[in-house]
Amino acid sequence: MSAGAGEEVQVALLHGGDGAVDKGPDSEDLVLRTWVESKKLWRIVGPAILNRVSSATMNSITHAFAGHLGDLELASMSIANTVVVGFNFGLLLGMASALETLCGQAFGAKKLPMLGVYMQRSWIVLILCAALMLPMYFFATPLLLLIGQPPELAAQAGTVSLWFIPLHFSFAFLFPLQRFLQCQLKNSINAIVAAIALAVHVLVTWLFVFKLKLGLIGVTVTLNFSWWTSVLCLYLYVTCGACTDTWKGFSGEAFSGLWDFVKLSVASGVMLCLENWYYRILILLSGNLKEGEVAVDAISICMSINGWELMIPMAFFAGTGVRVANELGTGNGKAARFATIISVATSSLIGFLFGVLLLSLHDKFALIYSSSPTVLQAVDDMSILLAFTIVLNSVQPVLSGVAVGSGWQAMVAYINIGTYYLIGLPVGVAMGWFFGLGVAGIWAGMIGGTAVQTVILAWITIRCDWDKEALMARARMEEEDLCK
């Protein structure tokens, strides 16, 4: 093993590689341990935030250019991106998070070549899954008509969806590459490549829309170009010598153990998809209320603010998953528990500060999006709900990250079904319509579902036998060795 790789492995531990640390809460000063763990956490979280901001900015630029082409073009792009691409994006992203469990634990256990094998398994599973999802793109127009979209909008959104097929397949390659690097603490390259892709996106959008006058199709193609730029850059980085310890070339081992990998990937995909779509349903429900246009405008503004801030806890989701998986892979359950505590505390503090900031600007922040007095008042009325959602969402993704790092995805998927769709959604509908509370009632009910889910995950995490989880992670790595 090279010196650089050895340093990377040691960083995964709580303090060096001599195994003399994390024997308990009294093994060293708590402040020092917190500082050391925070540095390791932010080494993952910081680049993850930049990566997510760059990706979101590319989408925002695309929507902005589509909006300048016309209202129908903007609506078509939004519907295609949200309904068709958004569903597949969430599912494939979730399925790729299985690598955070397996690669993270393998890295902690110093089974470095297994990271490359796991990534190849993920490519196989995600490519097959992406191929099975293609009918959504080919039949997007009738699908959109089925859910009540106007014929002209459905037809144009269907055409846009077809041009998004290359983007769709880029997810199957990009997400495993990102998690492969993230789990070996090389997340900074993900952020650098995301910034390069953003620069390419701006250049290509200017060329296709302003110079070549390719219209809506040109705007759509820019996203394909930018995401495949990320795929190519990361693939070249991995295969051209930067990951010599974890990438040993293509291997036949990738085709073994596929069924177990599929089960974990599907559980991960369902778990994150259920979360991803939960609050999107809020916008659809709002459109069916009286004064639905104002309700949709107001809730869309709130969800946009929430979405931008959510990049921070979602980065903590990634960081927590990696840190917990790394420590479980080393067989150090106490260090995994300590990493969980630091992640939850840090993310919660940031969420609380953002919540306070929004409450102090409750009558001003919506001016970024609208000048309508009616919409501004509606957003002001919901600012308390938005602040509470932000605080709650600063905890929930971190606990989901613990679940990913520990391999609990299937259990959390069942919890999400129960809390989100059997509690939160029915309560929200009842409060919105039967009790006449409108969009605020729907939102409050759905927040209740998230709160119940968070309490359940917190209880499971607190009651967790971390030493047992560490033994299970080590056993999984030993089983892989026996299967070779």
pLDDT of res. 483: 57
pLDDT of res. 141: 92
pLDDT of res. 476: 74
Q: pLDDT in tens for each of the 484 residues of the chain?
A: 344 444 434 444 333 333 444 444 455 588 888 999 999 999 999 999 988 888 888 887 887 777 777 767 777 787 788 778 888 888 898 899 889 889 999 998 889 999 999 999 999 999 999 999 999 999 999 988 887 778 888 898 899 999 999 999 999 999 999 999 999 989 899 999 999 999 999 999 889 888 888 888 888 889 899 999 999 999 999 999 899 999 999 988 888 888 888 888 888 888 888 877 777 776 667 656 665 556 666 776 787 788 778 889 989 998 999 999 999 988 889 999 999 999 999 999 999 999 999 888 877 777 766 677 887 788 888 888 889 989 998 998 899 999 988 888 888 888 988 998 899 889 988 988 888 787 788 888 888 999 999 999 999 999 999 999 888 888 877 766 555 5
Q: pTM (2 decimals)? A: 0.83
pLDDT of res. 286: 65
- SS3 of the chain: CCHHHHHHHHHCCCCCCCCCCCCCCCCCCHHHHHHHHHHHHHHHHHHHHHHHHHHHHHHHHHHHHHHHHCHHHHHHHHHHHHHHHHHHHHHHHHHHCHHHHHHHHHHHCCCCHHHHHHHHHHHHHHHHHHHHCHHHHHCHHHHHHHCCCCHHHHHHHHHHHHHCHHHHHHHHHHHHHHHHHHHCCCHHHHHHHHHHHHHHHHHHHHHHHHHCCCHHHHHHHHHHHHHHHHHHHHHHHHHHHHCCCCCCCCCHHHHCCHHHHHHHHHHHHHHHHHHHHHHHHHHHHHCCCCCHHHHHHHHHHHHHHHHHHHHHHHHHHHHHHHHHHHHHHHCCHHHHHHHHHHHHHHHHHHHHHHHHHHHHCCCCHHHHCCCCHHHHHHHHHCHHHHHHHHHHHCCHHHHHHHHHHHCCHHHHHHHHHHHHHHHHHHHHHHHHHHCCCHHHHHHHHHHHHHHHHHHHHHHHHHHCCHHHHHHHHHHHHHHHHHHC
Domain boundaries of the chain, sorted by first residue: 48-256, 276-484
pLDDT of res. 296: 63
pLDDT of res. 291: 56
